[in-house]
Structures are given as C-alpha cells and as structure tokens.
Structure 1
C-alpha cells in the first residue's frame, strides 16, 4: 500500500512541476535596433496574445521566439491572472516598438470561457488605466477569442477607451450550436441554440467602438475536412453575423493540413500574422 502512495505522490509532484513550467513566460529579447528590417513596419501599437482553453505559457512561445529571432517583434510584458482573478503585470510597453504582451491564465481549465471573459475585461482595463494603452492589436486562440469578443461586447467603457485596429482570431467558435456537417448557409437558416451567440447578436447591435476594427478569421482544415479537429469552421464563420461594416472589416483564410494547435504553431500561419500586423504590403483575402 505504501508503494502506491509513493507512486501517487510522485505523479502529483510531477504534475505540479509540469504546470509550474507551463506557466513560465517566454523570455523577451529586445529588437536589434541596428538590424531593423525594411519590410517590417515598426509600430507603437502593442499586441496582446490570448490563449484558449487549457492554454498556457507554451501556447505562444514559438510565436514569440520566432518573431524575436526574425527581428520582427519583441516580448516586453507578461500578464498572469490567478484563479481568483487577480492580475499581475510585469514589464512595460511604453516606447516599445512591436511589443508583444503574453497573457497567461494560471488556471485555464474552466468549464466554459465566462471566467476568461471577466478576467480579460480586468486585464484590458488595467492596461488602459495603468499603462496608458489606448490602441491594441490582439491575437486570440480558440475560446480565448470567444472570451475576447464577449469581453468587448459586454463593456461599453472598453469600447470607448481602447481602439483595436487588428484582431486576429485563430479557430475561434462563435456559434457552438452548429456542427461541421452543416454548411454556413444552412446554419444561418436555422435558429441558433447557442445562448452565448444569441447574447452576442443582441450586444453587438449596440456595439460602438472607438475606431474601426479589422477582423482576421483564420481557420484550419484537417485532411480536407471542414474542421481543424477541434472547432468546426462553420462555428467560426458566424463572426460575420455579429460584426457590422459600419465599424469593421472582415477577412478570412482557411489553412489546409492545419489542426487546432497548428494555428498558433505553424510557420505559415505565423508568417501570415506578421504580415497582417506589421507589413503594409496588401495580402489576398476572401471577404
């Protein structure tokens, strides 16, 4: 019996150590100012990196390291949110070009994205109040994107305090009541059973942002399927239903042989995102 307790204890210690390791922020490396690239536009607008369900410090580690290695962007701030919603911010974005903000939820295994919605509102409020962020780009994965959309829809003050020039959603479900076997056209013809989506529709009718938002809806496809293996693309396409051309532009792309995790790991997606955020050259998009 004692042997089993020792094994169980060892497993628990191992799991705790793994979780602590996953919560580490990715080391930041400053831009090499003497090697700035002519094809990159270096901007004062920081970019917030929002992980999805179960996401942690590993989620955007490759992205951060890749952009820093290529001298495209630099991670200058790490934000941790405790399970009780306490926000801890390290670093600064002041006077930092192409700054990346790594957001880490210390316990990201919730039953839905409602806690992350509230936590995001707190994070955005503190970025504006304490760090004077009034313009912010966002990359958000999966339920992290769902939480972001709801956070903005639920806060008229954030809509007026911070401009969001570019929002990139990676495999983000908007209406979770439809499955991959239903086309977008047919799905729109039926009444949605997703109460969160119904609430979004209502909230976005009153949505009044500080400035126009460009939404980039990036989706994956596994073996020619209409899903990235976790989120059916039709669920993500419902983003088009809630935004309005008076205050937004919409772009979408589907990446073949790309699963849900690849959307924040694949070099082809990372290359697309750096062009969206920091390259003025026009890209071909499906509207």
Structure 2
C-alpha cells in the first residue's frame, strides 16, 4: 500500500466524522488511508467552539444517502457527485445500490486521480465510475468534459452537491445547476446551504459565528451563507419543482427518532435542500 491519501483539510475534516455511516470493510479501509494529521488543530478548535458540528456532518450525509436510496429504489439514474472530494460515496453506491445506477460521475478539481488509485489498491469496484478532474465554475469546459466521459443528458440524473454552495458564489452555483435543467424535471438535486446568522436563534448565534470564523480563517476565505428566503429566490432562476427544505432538527428526528442535538429551525449551521430540475 502506498502513502496515505492527502486531501484538502476541509474535506478531511468532514470525513473525520463520517466513520459512522461507512460500515463495510473496504469503506473503513479507505477512510483509514486518509491523512488526518493536518486537521488536528482545526478539529480541536471546532470541538471547543461548536461541539455539534460532527453530528451536523453525519446528519447531512445521512440526508444525502436517504435521497439517493429513495430515488434509486424507484428507477434507473445516472449519478453526478459534484465537489466529490475524498468522500467514498461512490464506493457505497457501487456496493449497495448498483442495480439502478446507469453510471457514476465524480467531479472535483483535484485529488480524484489519487482517489481512483486508492480504490484500485483496496479492490473497490470503479468500473462504473468516471473520475473527472475539473473546476466546476468553468461551466463550458465542465459540460463538454462530462459529456465526453459518457454523460447522457437524455437520461435522468441524481445530482449531489454536498459541500459545494458554502464555498462558491450563489451565481456560480446557479450556473452549474442550469446545465442540468430539463423540460420534464427528470433530474433530482440535493445540496446543503449554510445558514446566515440572522436565521439562527439568538442564544446559538455565538456558536454559529464562531464556527464560521474558524472555517473562514482556515480556508483563508469566506463561507457563503444565506437565509432560506435568499435560497428560494435564487432557485427560481432554475424553474424547479418540488423544492423541499429540511432543517437539521427535522433530519435528526427522521434519522435518530428523537431531537437531542438540534431542536428548531436555525439549529445545526446548515439546511438541506432538494428539488426536481
């Protein structure tokens, strides 16, 4: 086995909390082959400032998985994983939900070649996965690259955008999703949206701002956060149908059967949004 896979710290931070949802031997082996040393300081600061972050990340991933499982139990789809990062979501899909998957396309601007190599080393089946190294914001090149790798715009597609909107501008996000618009609304999208501080209950605002400040410092940039109304107005440019917004409190109740960490709208740093496109 070669050296552990080194990926961006923010991606590694998310996966640090993800062991709960990846159970198979190969998925666990994959996670163990990531390098976590670079995030020790960041994780310690986050645990001190905002302990619920880990639970939010886990619930976010459960929400994405529930979305995929629902649609893949109801028909055949292509799957586009935008901003795929080091997440072994495609490994989970090829193991557990492969029957109704036409093809999986992983897209990110870096590290996918190393991820593909690690899949091969761990004997994770990647025969139905295309790893596309691409800056999503260059929409013209992205679309051509996607089609060249076998993407068929005529086939229904599930599009996951986990960890994308918080790191790019709203207009860039809309430009990307406009590529997947269809007349019959056959494509299905899920994404997470960071909540702006004015949408957070007053006594949680210190925690909320604290985590935003830490992440901004660590990435040396801004975290894009929005009110729900801003997101809903933004999405109207896409002429979507069946928009569903879920709070972390609602997701926790569905996944855990109780509300222990998050209780009301605005708790949990993010909301999950799904729609037909």
- Fold match (TM-score > 0.5): no
Question: Normalised by the size of structure 1, how large is the TM-score?
Answer: 0.38
Select the structure with the greater relative contact order (CA < 8 A; seq sep ≥ 6).
Answer: 2
Q: In proportion to residue count, which structure has more helix? A: 2
